[in-house]
Structure 1
């Protein structure tokens, strides 16, 4: 695991682990940059990257392999003597592999969040907390069934307009970020214009930067799952701190 320092020299009030179930250190760094930009002073970010599995999870088999790595790294973080409290773990793969296992295995004071779960919950409510229709744009057709199952498990199916898949092979698109963004833009447009989505989630941790690039191009919110999960974690940490006062 690697630690990233605070932007200011203040005592640590909380700590978040960004746990990448993919084996790509580059993806971990990409997501960490986005997460750090969301953190207030006093919250420390730590990162961990899976040692085995896929460099990019593109199907349900990859999700299954990642589960045990998530559980191992999450337990390691929770058991560390120097982990300040309160703390949180973000499972930074859109399929939330191992999230339920972590919630069952870890003590209650270690809060756990998945980027897919957090983004869907955020997308399904507007700024006033009212329900809104949302879609998902991604590059991984092998995860479409898993995404639909996650939506259903969260009770969000009535507001889900469906998943749109960017044209092209996932790994080939990942190797060409500019093309990947353009293909995702077409998928977002299909969610909005074809399906009536009022918000669109970009479905993938490695795609998080594309979400920031695409957001200004659309009249509806285009959500980064990494940002959504960090925001959910910060809210959870704030509530936990208030309960401890």
Structure 2
């Protein structure tokens, strides 16, 4: 089977590299993960307008590429921008990291929270949970305190801010799993996994697992 294509819907190439590294570490049998970065939009998707632009940029980018070599596409921003449109337009399975993270968190009926840095995307994130059918298990969204752009500039501050929000989700929401809501938060999600007694769901690795499962099903249908 061919590689997976990981599309970063923001315009930050360093973020693409980080997410690809995390994705590769999660892949089985050393599947190749190829990264691609949106050609227009913002380097941080933190409001509904930027999310809408990212959706357009994701579709434009995917349609500009030769997709035949790929076994699947991962859209690596937590609002899953452009996922539905891509599914109508491309010949390979498409997986969003929010979708994958939510599915994994809710496994076996676990109650879950989402922790992230972007308050202006709260409505979009909550809407995704409802769309994917897990509203009854969702304990809510917990946000880091402070300016998202400033927090994202400092890896230590980012991890500590997310950790504090996770603690609130654990204690006040009685969450049985916590999703770290964002592709650019991938490295922090890896570190946070060791700090809590409940599963900390890293959405990029979750998306790799779901994308590979979908690719295998897709291949079997094509035989």
Q: TM-score, normalised by structure 2?
A: 0.96
Q: Is the 8 A contact 2:189 2:200 kept in 1?
A: yes
Q: In structure 2, which of residues 211, 218, 223 is the aligned counterpart of residue 240 of structure 1?
A: 218
C-alpha deviation, 1:238, in angstroms = 2.1
Cα distance in 2, alignment partners of residues 42 and 215 from structure 1: 22
**Residues in 1 aligned to 2:53 and 2:222: alpha-carbon distance in whole angstroms:** 37
Is residue 122 of structure 1 aligned with residue 100 of structure 2?
no
Structure number with greater Rg is 1
Q: Matches of residues 20-35 of structure 1 in structure 2 within 5 Å?
A: 20-35=8-23
* CA deviation profile, 1:165-184 (whole Å, cap 9, x unmatched): 01111110011110110010
More helix by share: 2
Show the counterpart of 2:49. 61
What is the TM-score of this pair, normalised by structure 1? 0.88
CA distance in 1 between partners of 2:56 and 2:219 (Å): 30
Per the alignment, residue 94 of structure 1 pairs with 78
Matches within 5 A, 1:188-227: 188-227=166-205
Which sections of structure 1, spanning at least 5 residues, go unmatched?
1-12
Shift of residue 100 of structure 1? 0.6
Structure 2 unaligned spans of 5+? none
Contact kept? 2:93, 2:218, Cα under 8 Å: no
Aligned with 2:153 (options 160, 171, 175): 175
CA distance in 2, matches of 1:132, 1:42: 30
- Could you tell me whether the CA contact under 8 Å between 1:14 and 1:237 is conserved in 2? no
CA offsets 1:46-75 (integer angstroms, 9 cap, x no match): 111011111010011110111111001122
CA distance in 2, matches of 1:177, 1:156: 31
Name 1:84's counterpart in structure 2. Answer: 69
Report the Cα distance in structure 1 between the residues aligned to 2:16 and 2:105, rounded to whole angstroms: 24
SS at match of 2:209: helix
Residues 68-118 of structure 1 deviation map (CA, whole Å, 9 limit, x = unaligned): 1100112233x35xx326x100000000111111011123xx000000111
Equivalent-residue separation in structure 2 for 1:192 and 1:29 (angstroms): 31
| CA displacement, residues 179-220 of structure 1 (integer Å, 9 cap, x when unaligned) | 110010010111111001100000110001111101111000
State the shift of 1:41 in Å: 3.4
* Secondary structure in 2 matching 1:37: helix
Distance 2:64 2:111 in 1: 38
RMSD: 1.3
Q: Conserved in 2, the CA contact under 8 Å of 1:14 and 1:42?
A: no
Instruction: Give 1:38 deviation, angstroms.
Output: 1.7
